[in-house]
Chains A and B, each alone.
Chain A
Amino acid sequence: MNLPENELHAYVDDRLDGERRRAVEAQLAQAPEDAARAAAYREQNAALHALFDAVLDEPVPTRLRQIETSRRTAWFAVATGSLAVGVVVGWFAHALLADRPQAPATLARQAAVAHAVYAPEVRHPVEVGADQHEHLVNWLSKRLGAKLKAPVLAAEGFELVGGRLLSGEQGAVAHFMYQDAKGKRLTLYVSRIAGKQRDTAFRFSQEEKIAVFYWIDGPLGYALSGELPKFDLLEIATAVYKQLNP
């Protein structure tokens, strides 16, 4: 009688008690093909461990460690369902108390919260409209103490709506808003970065429906947020980066 397939695999995975294991071994002794398969499957398990167990001993990358430390804040438990204004206020209050340098993961979170708050705003999405482009950029540059630029994203289908000043962990934050023909909005969050930070590559974070690409470039952290597929947003983030670093 053929060995049932599930018994063979249970044997391979060492999930049989002594009696059943001996029964399977007795049957395998009579069935060379099954025995060869069982041996091959056991080798697969061993090879998987040989290939991948080394990962267990690798140091955990910072970006994964940051997730577990940067969220140790009360606001997050509340913010899970909806990102409400009250939560933002609570979170900024928390930010004032935190004295560690701004972690990039925090940048993404701040940007997503700001996006969630301002992007749906119909009547007052911005403080200064794109019709006063020069004034907007000069004003925000002055407040951040850095020369800013509002990237042109017409090629990507987005027009500048305008911008506003926000308060963030490191003081003033510039918040530029863009909109496409269908009314879909993107926001670019620009904040000073405390301490000595090296320029970073793009990083990605998904905050509920909001996708965020963020990076550090010189003294400034940038985060581009939108309810867009990751790859679409990456293209736009790339365009933003290229315009800021011609």
Chain B
Amino acid sequence: MNPEQLAIHIPRLRRYARALAGDQSAADDLVQDTLERALNKRHLWRPGSDLRAWLFAIMHNVFVNQLRGRQAHPEEALDDDALPAVAPSDGARLEITDLQSALAVLPPEQRAVVLLVGLEQLSYAEASRALGIPIGTVMSRLFRGRERLRILTTGAQAAPTLKVVK
């Protein structure tokens, strides 16, 4: 792997990071950390294998580490932006009309799968490798994530098990 090979993937890494992280600066931090780690670990990449899937896998690890870091700092909680979207009063209907706000409300693990499959067009097998989870888990997260997005954005009838995040 050389820097030029990496550079080809930067735009798509940025797109995924933007959708995953929300704002531009957090997303580019994610991309920067991913690229640096990829170069650090480049001896681990098998030439000929799918570099993009490998980069997504690294980005996923960086993202998860950032989430953990933020949990240690509650004032930086990931879902700070997402929470106010939920109406505070009892029995209030959840009203989120745009997909971007709905995405922010999704649990990060569901968001990642929905984006890798729906936006980045990875196969389930590729998403499974990128996230380090079994294909069955990819599918169940995808199905739940998409249904949750649908309910959030269309106000469709929520299944009883789908509770509004607190």
Q: A56-B12, A80-B40 are in contact. Are A45 and B118 (CB under 8 A)?
A: yes
Q: In the complex, are the beta carbons of A80 and B12 less than 8 A apart?
A: no
Instruction: Decide if B109 is an interface residue (CB 8 Å cutoff).
Output: no
Q: A37-B150, A44-B99 are in contact. Are A68 and B119 (CB under 8 A)?
A: no
**Closest beta carbon of chain B to A90's beta carbon, Å:** 17
What sequence of 0s and 1s flags, for each residue 143-164 of chain B, a beta carbon within 8 Å of any chain A beta carbon? 1001101100110100000000
Residues of A within 8 Å of B28, CB to CB, are: 61, 63-64
Q: In the complex, are the beta carbons of B29 and A204 less than 8 A apart?
A: yes
* Among candidates B3, B19, B69, residue contacting A68 with C-beta atoms closer than 8 Å: B3
Instruction: Decide if A142 is an interface residue (CB 8 Å cutoff).
Output: no
Looking at A46-54, A115-123, A170-178, A180-188, the stretch in contact with chain B turns out to be A46-54
Q: In the complex, are the beta carbons of B31 and A64 less than 8 A apart?
A: yes
Interface residues of B in 116-166 (CB under 8 A from A): 117-119, 121, 123, 139, 142-143, 146-147, 149-150, 153-154, 156
Q: In the complex, are the beta carbons of A76 and B29 less than 8 A apart?
A: no
Q: In the complex, are the beta carbons of A67 and B150 less than 8 A apart?
A: no
Q: In the complex, are the beta carbons of A52 and B123 less than 8 A apart?
A: no
Q: In the complex, are the beta carbons of B118 and A68 less than 8 A apart?
A: no
Residues of B within 8 Å of A55, CB to CB, are: 11, 14-15, 18
Instruction: Decide if A41 is an interface residue (CB 8 Å cutoff).
Output: yes
Q: How far is the CA of A229 from the CA of B72 in the complex (A)?
A: 10
Instruction: Decide if A13 is an interface residue (CB 8 Å cutoff).
Output: yes
Residues of B within 8 Å of A205, CB to CB, are: 32, 36
Interface residues of A in 65-115 (CB under 8 A from B): 65, 67-69, 71-72, 76-77, 80
Interface residues of chain A: helix, strand, loop or mixed (majority): helix
Q: A40-B150, A60-B11 are in contact. Are A13 and B118 (CB under 8 A)?
A: yes
What sequence of 0s and 1s flags, for each residue 22-46 of chain B, a beta carbon within 8 Å of any chain A beta carbon? 0000001101110111011111000
Instruction: Decide if A199 is an interface residue (CB 8 Å cutoff).
Output: no
Could you list 22 A-B pairs, sorted by A, with CB under 8 Å?
Answer: A6-B139, A9-B139, A13-B121, A41-B118, A41-B146, A45-B119, A51-B19, A52-B19, A55-B11, A56-B11, A58-B11, A58-B14, A60-B11, A63-B32, A64-B28, A64-B32, A68-B10, A72-B2, A80-B42, A206-B37, A208-B40, A231-B76
Instruction: Decide if A230 is an interface residue (CB 8 Å cutoff).
Output: yes
Q: In the complex, are the beta carbons of B146 and A230 less than 8 A apart?
A: no
Instruction: Decide if B7 is an interface residue (CB 8 Å cutoff).
Output: yes
Q: In the complex, are the beta carbons of B39 and A67 less than 8 A apart?
A: yes
Instruction: Decide if B50 is an interface residue (CB 8 Å cutoff).
Output: no
Q: Which residue of B lies closest to A205 (CB)?
A: B36
Q: In the complex, are the beta carbons of B3 and A69 less than 8 A apart?
A: yes
* Among candidates B10, B18, B143, residue contacting A9 with C-beta atoms closer than 8 Å: B143
* Among candidates B18, B39, B123, residue contacting A15 with C-beta atoms closer than 8 Å: B123
Q: Which residue of B lies closest to A51 (CB)?
A: B100
Q: In the complex, are the beta carbons of B39 and A76 less than 8 A apart?
A: yes
Q: In the complex, are the beta carbons of B36 and A229 less than 8 A apart?
A: no
Instruction: Decide if A134 is an interface residue (CB 8 Å cutoff).
Output: no
Residues of B within 8 Å of A131, CB to CB, are: none
Q: Which residue of B lies closest to A232 (CB)?
A: B73
**Closest beta carbon of chain B to A6's beta carbon, Å:** 6
Instruction: Decide if B85 is an interface residue (CB 8 Å cutoff).
Output: no
Instruction: Decide if B83 is an interface residue (CB 8 Å cutoff).
Output: no
Residues of B within 8 Å of A206, CB to CB, are: 33, 36-37
Q: A48-B118, A67-B32 are in contact. Are A72 and B3 (CB under 8 A)?
A: yes
